[in-house]
């Protein structure tokens, strides 16, 4: 899994798109704890990508992750004053 997540640093955007799709496939299998600790931070990083198509697909995957990640954890992360979702 770490090899896949490291592909976010690849200069070719298709490799980064593969990471977004892999997170979409891995999250239901990995469970909420690993999704929150490893996969969600990777998606947050990819949400700041320079390629609009990657940002769009990250938004779609984030929407699909809501049922997987515990609601209290996701609400805490998204609405914290200094949380990663509040930073640009």
Domain ranges of the chain: 2-79
Place of tokens 């899994």: 1
DSSP assignment of 17-82: HHHHHHHHHHHHHH-HHHIIIIIHHHHHHHTT-S-HHHHHHHHHHHHHHTTTS-HHHHHHHHH-TT
What was the pLDDT predicted at 61?
94
DSSP type of residue 6: G
Output the tens digit of pLDDT for each of the chain's 88 residues: 777 788 888 899 999 999 999 999 999 898 888 888 889 999 999 999 999 999 999 999 999 888 887 664 656 665 555 555 555 5
């Amino acid at each position: 899994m770490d090899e896949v997540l490291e592909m976010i640093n690849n200069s070719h955007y298709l490799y980064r798109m593969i990471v977004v799709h892999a997170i979409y496939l891995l999250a239901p299998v990995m469970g909420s704890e690993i999704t929150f600790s490893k996969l969600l931070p990777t998606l947050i990083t990819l949400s700041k990508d320079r390629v609009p198509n990657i940002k769009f697909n990250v938004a779609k995957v984030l929407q699909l992750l809501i049922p997987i990640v515990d609601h209290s954890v996701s609400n805490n992360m998204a609405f914290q004053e200094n949380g990663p979702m509040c930073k640009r």
